[in-house]
Structures are given as C-alpha cells and as structure tokens.
Structure 1
Amino acid sequence: MNDSIFVGLDVHKATISAAVAEGMRGGEVRNLGIIPNRADQIAKLAKKLGKGGRQVSFCYEAGPCGYGLRQLTGLGHNCIVVAPSLIPMKAGDRVKTDRRDAAMLAKLHRNGELTAVWVPDAAHEAMRDLVRARATAMRVLGKARQHLQGFLLRHGRIYAGKKGWTLAYRRWLTTVRFDHPASQIVLQDYIHAVTDAEARVDCLTKRIEELAPQWSMTPFVEAVQAMRGVAFIVAVTVVAEVGDFSRVARRSGWKAASIKVREFRWARDVGRA
C-alpha cells in the first residue's frame, strides 16, 4: 500500500479538479490543482503520478459527463465510478468546493469507503443510448398524439369508434374539416407531427433489431424473452438498463423484486408503439 496513491477527481465539462491521498490510512492528502478536461491532459496527469512504477487508483463521481475517463483503465490504471448517493458524508459538512470534493474522494477511496457502480463498456453504452433514443421517441410520439387529440376535442371533433390510432381512426382523421383555413393548417401540422414521430420510432426500432444480433448481451435478451409476455423491445430495454444482472442478484429479495417490477413496467411502456 505504501507505493500506492489514490486520486480523487471532481469532473466538470471543461475542467477536472484532482487530489491525491498517499499510501496508508492517515497519510497526506493534497490537492493537485485543476486541469482541462481533455484526453491529453488526463493522460499527462496519469503518467506523472505513475512515475517510478507507483500504483495509481482513480475515482470520480458519476455525473452528466459520462464515462469519458475510461481512458484511465485503458492506460492500465484502476478507476472506479462512484454513485454520489453512496458517498459517506459527515454531519454538518455541507461546504462543497471542487478542491474539497476531490480531496474527500481521494481520502475515502484510500480508506476503502467508496462503493463503485457498474460501468458499461463502450459497446454496451452505445446500445443503451440507442434504446434510450427510442424511448425518447416514444415519449415524443405520445405527446404528439395528445396534442392532436386535445385539439380535436377542444373543437368538438369526436371519433365515434372505440379505439384510437387504428386504420379506421386514421381514415377518419382524413375526413375532418374546419371552416377556417387556419384551423385546418393546425390539424394537418398535428397529424404530420404524429406521422413524423411514428416514423422515427419505426426507424430506431429497426436499427435496434439490426444491431442486437451483434451485441454481446444478446443471450441475455433471448433469456428475458423466454419469460411469458416479454417482447423483443422490452427484453432489449431491460438488458440495456440492467446490464450486469449480478447487481440485482446480490440485492435482498424484496429489493430485487421491486427493481425488476419497476424496470419491466418502464420497459413495457416504452415498448408500446
């Protein structure tokens, strides 16, 4: 442990504040300053700290900057990502600055008091981004349909059928007319918004279907599909979001059950077109 150092990084879009905790518990903790959040600067810092064969272990909080610091593991260093909600905090210690946060992370990392979160590899993250893009498109589609239906309801145009968005409903939409041309323009714009959103969902769904066979998690997708009532998109969504299923297996029974229910409900909702 004496030849090891532990580095805490407070990561922002443009800058990174770094601090280092030396060796054993109780050793010196010092701030290294602020560096630009650029790959070359991060590599330069890692090289400087690893001189003489010292083992360097990095940590930083999960945040909106993503997993760009994967390069540290690529350089041969240990690097963990920490969930902010799992970082031990002392009562009354509410003053937060970049320097203090980096030093706190370095110290806690050295003491073994940080809980690392699962980090997807680049391929898994890319697939998850694609799945989430489709989920976003589904929400946009839902909003577009609501806007159209709200407009029709407000103007007393009521569909006599039992179910919306069927072929019969779409044929009915083509028969709706307004006296004022402005209202007709609004109707067509809302209809176009719906068709555009549907096309986006269909396109992303096809891309997922095309790329899924090349994904390393495909066996898990097939296993989840083996469950009754679980369709392909739902299975892909669950696998993309859960990632490492051992994380769920390690949870207590009721927690595992509750997280599975929430994930399947969410996946089921985003899978509906």
Structure 2
Amino acid sequence: MFEHTFIGLDVHAVNVAGHALNPGTGEISAHTMAADPAMVLEWVRRFEPPVKVAYESGPTGFVLARYLQAAGINCVVAASSKLLRAPGDRVKTDRRDARVLAEMLAVGSVVQVHIPDPDEEALRDLARLRSGAAKDLAHARQHVNAILLRHGIRYPNDSRWTKEHRLWLHRQRFDEPALQFTYDADVEQAELLAAHLARIDKQITATAGLCRYSRVIDALMCLRGIQMTTAFGLAVEIGDWTRFTGSSIGAYLGLVPSESSSGQSRHQGPITKAGNTYARKLLIEAAWVHRRPYARPGERLLRQLDVVGPATRIRALEGNHRLHHKWEHFDERHKMSVKANIAIARELAGWCWSLAAPLQQGERMNVA
C-alpha cells in the first residue's frame, strides 16, 4: 500500500531541492529552500501525513535525517551507489535528482544506509582520523626516501624508521643549502606525523575500552592480523553486525566478484569494491598476516584469548587455523597472491562476523 506522500530531497551545503509525490492523487510539488533543517521540516509538514522522506548519502552527513526523525518524520538516507539511472539520461539537475528519489521511494526501490547516532559517528571519525594520519605519514616517509635515493644514499641496514635509522637520517648532509633545507623539512614532517599518529593510537586505545563496542573489539583482536587500531576501525565502521550474515558481510564490503552474465554466458570480474572502503582496506591488510607460518597462538594472542569468553576463544582459534590452511592451499595451487588474499579477506570478514554478531545479539537479549 502506498504511503500518502513521498518526498525526495537533493541536499547540498547551501540549498535543498525537494520534490513531493502523491501516487494516489498524482499531485506533485517542487520547492527549493535553504539548507536549514528547520526550513526543510517546515516544508515537509505542509503535506498531510503520513509522509516518507529520502535523500542521497553524501558529504552533508546525517544531520538532516536525525533532525527529521526526531520530529517524527519517517526519513531514510539512500545509498548513492544503488540509485537507478537510465543509461540515456544525460540531464542532471537538483530538481530531477529529487524527483528520481521520490519516484524510487514510491515504488520501494531505495536501498537505505544505516544512520549512525552522534556517538557512533564520532567513533567513526576517530577511526578515519587514524587512517588519514597513517596515509600522511607513509607519504612523508616516501618523500625522505626519494630524496636519498635520487642522490645515491642508501641506509646500510634493512630495518627502517627505528631509533638508529632516525639518528642516521639526521647525520646526512648535502652541499646545496636549498636541498639541505628541503631534506630537513621532510624529515621533520615525518617525525611530527609519527608523533601525531602515536597520540591518535593512544586515544583509540583509551576510547576502545570505554565505548559500546569494547567486547566486539576484544573478540576481533583474537584473530591474527587484527590488533587494536584494526579491531576498533572494523567495529565502529560496521556498527551493528547483526544486520548481516556470514555470507552477506563480504558482499556489503565489496569483497565479492563482479559479474556480467547473459543467457548461457557467465563472466566474473574484479571485486565490486562496494560498501565501506576503510573496513575493506583493513580486512585486506589483515588477511596477509594469515599467510605467515602458524602452529599455535603467539604471546599477544594468548593474552587476548584470556580476555574473552570460551565460545569466542574457540571460534577465534578455529578461524586462525582455517584461514592459514586456506593460504597454504592457495600457495600449493600457485594461486596469484593478490587474488588469494582477497579470498582470504572475504572469509576473514565472515569470521569477524561470527565473533561479533553473537556478542551483540546476546547484549540485546540481556537488555530485553
């Protein structure tokens, strides 16, 4: 049965284009207003309830959705990657986008994204701050290495960015003053970013022990390749693990092959790379660790396994053995390592779900 009115919003930083559609009467109303949640709410309330509102996910975040939901309006945020667009449609305007959203909402083809509460979003921001800082640090260190490489200077040892390596960097001198200044500035930038990343890691450790995902973080850290920052990132990016199953979590993270099939022809291509980019990156990085030799848990894992319950401990040990065995199987078949690692990451996502979802389901049952 149709809702009374469906409203699509094209939200920007300065203005909002709205399109209201009543499938029963065929009435249509379009309006452009300032990007003020109060003004949007005032316009939405002009229509007789019940109404349903949707806007596309994007840089404007979830402030408007939370404001409308708090006012009793049924508002959803549509996944931008799942919006249908005709191949021949070459005209794109704010009003047309709002109209398409209203029409898709009316026929029930809008794929909703999870709307995090402010606390959950703050935890995500902290995790993504860490990701950005790590990327900046890697680029700064590459600049230092590039200068030395261009001038034929090579560090004699294999391990880099240790205390000895940093002392060696400060001893390097160049004849050209401009080059010396550039080199010193790059080294200083790398050291400042390393200290900045260390402060972020310290804050993540403190936050992880007090946040709502503390038990999930402890459980995820029982898997090889997943330590504090990775576990924190996965926990806060996924949020509610009970939304998925062991097989659907891989598709949500874009770790399943793309497919183009027609008739008797079936072709699978690269992974879809849909969903959460940061969570996918964390899993792909963690999957490489399972290729390393593994006979029994190391000291870190043993300490971590003592923190969790028996069911989580047994499941994590099974996962570690299974994932390493899969890597051995791929290596025996001489599988391309990059493709093999994606397959391991996809299975690792399922093992993470099997640890996190039961904990969250149990917490909900205890609250009920």
Question: Which category of TM-score, normalised to the shorter sequence, fits these structures?
Answer: 0.7 to 0.9
Amino acid paired to 2:59: P
Query: Are the aligned partners of 1:31 and 1:99 in contact in 2 as well (CA < 8 Å)?
Result: no
Residue 29 of structure 1: how far off its partner (Å): 4.6
Partner of 2:111: 115
1:33 to 25, 31, 34: 31
SS at match of 1:32: strand
Query: Are the aligned partners of 1:10 and 1:16 in contact in 2 as well (CA < 8 Å)?
Result: yes
Partner of 1:5: 5
How many pairs are equivalent? 264
- The farther-off stretch of 119-128 and 87-96 is 87-96
Partner of 1:88: 84
2:99 to 96, 103, 121: 103
Query: Are the aligned partners of 1:31 and 1:103 in contact in 2 as well (CA < 8 Å)?
Result: no
**1:204-261 Cα deviation digits (max 9, x unpaired):** 1122222223322222212211223320111011122222323442754863793686
Partner of 2:351: none
Give the whole-Å Cα distance in 2 for the aligned partners of 1:58 and 1:11.
Answer: 12
Q: Cα 1:261–1:65, aligned 2, differ >3 Å: closer, same or farther?
A: closer
Aligned runs of 1:7-86 on 2, under 5 Å?
7-22=7-22, 24=24, 27-49=25-47, 54-69=49-64, 70-86=66-82
Partner of 1:239: 235
Query: Are the aligned partners of 2:226 and 2:286 in contact in 1 as well (CA < 8 Å)?
Result: no
Give the whole-Å Cα distance in 1 for the aligned partners of 2:114 and 2:146.
Answer: 43
**Is the counterpart of residue 226 in structure 1 residue 222 in structure 2?**
yes
Unpaired stretches in structure 2, ≥5 consecutive residues: 257-278, 289-368
Amino acid paired to 2:57: A
Q: Cα 1:241–1:266, aligned 2, differ >3 Å: closer, same or farther?
A: farther
Q: Cα 1:253–1:62, aligned 2, differ >3 Å: closer, same or farther?
A: closer
Unpaired stretches in structure 1, ≥5 consecutive residues: none
Give the whole-Å Cα distance in 1 for the aligned partners of 2:249 and 2:95.
Answer: 40
**1:155-194 Cα deviation digits (max 9, x unpaired):** 2221111111112211211221223333322221111111
Q: Cα 1:82–1:266, aligned 2, differ >3 Å: closer, same or farther?
A: farther
**Is the counterpart of residue 127 in structure 1 residue 123 in structure 2?**
yes
Amino acid paired to 1:112: G
Q: Cα 1:61–1:199, aligned 2, differ >3 Å: closer, same or farther?
A: same
Amino acid paired to 1:264: L
Give the whole-Å Cα distance in 1 for the aligned partners of 2:207 and 2:131.
Answer: 17
Residue 85 of structure 1: how far off its partner (Å): 2.4
Give the whole-Å Cα distance in 2 for the aligned partners of 1:112 and 1:213.
Answer: 40
SS at match of 2:63: coil
**1:40-61 Cα deviation digits (max 9, x unpaired):** 21232233335xxx11211011
Query: Are the aligned partners of 1:249 and 1:256 in contact in 2 as well (CA < 8 Å)?
Result: no
Q: Cα 1:196–1:9, aligned 2, differ >3 Å: closer, same or farther?
A: same
- The farther-off stretch of 190-199 and 92-101 is 92-101
Amino acid paired to 1:243: G
Q: Cα 1:60–1:268, aligned 2, differ >3 Å: closer, same or farther?
A: same
Partner of 1:214: 210
Q: Cα 1:45–1:212, aligned 2, differ >3 Å: closer, same or farther?
A: farther
Partner of 2:251: 255
Query: Are the aligned partners of 1:234 and 1:268 in contact in 2 as well (CA < 8 Å)?
Result: no
Partner of 1:205: 201
TM-score, normalisation: structure 2: 0.65
- The farther-off stretch of 109-118 and 213-222 is 213-222
Query: Are the aligned partners of 1:29 and 1:107 in contact in 2 as well (CA < 8 Å)?
Result: no
Partner of 2:352: none
TM-score, normalisation: structure 1: 0.86
Give the whole-Å Cα distance in 2 for the aligned partners of 1:189 and 1:130.
Answer: 27
Partner of 1:154: 150
Residue 8 of structure 1: how far off its partner (Å): 0.6
Q: Cα 1:252–1:240, aligned 2, differ >3 Å: closer, same or farther?
A: closer
Residue 263 of structure 1: how far off its partner (Å): 4.1
SS at match of 2:19: strand
The Cα RMSD (Å) is 2.5
Bigger relative CO (Cα 8 Å, ≥ 6 apart)? 1
Partner of 1:185: 181
Q: Cα 1:64–1:268, aligned 2, differ >3 Å: closer, same or farther?
A: farther
Residue 91 of structure 1: how far off its partner (Å): 4.9
SS at match of 1:108: helix
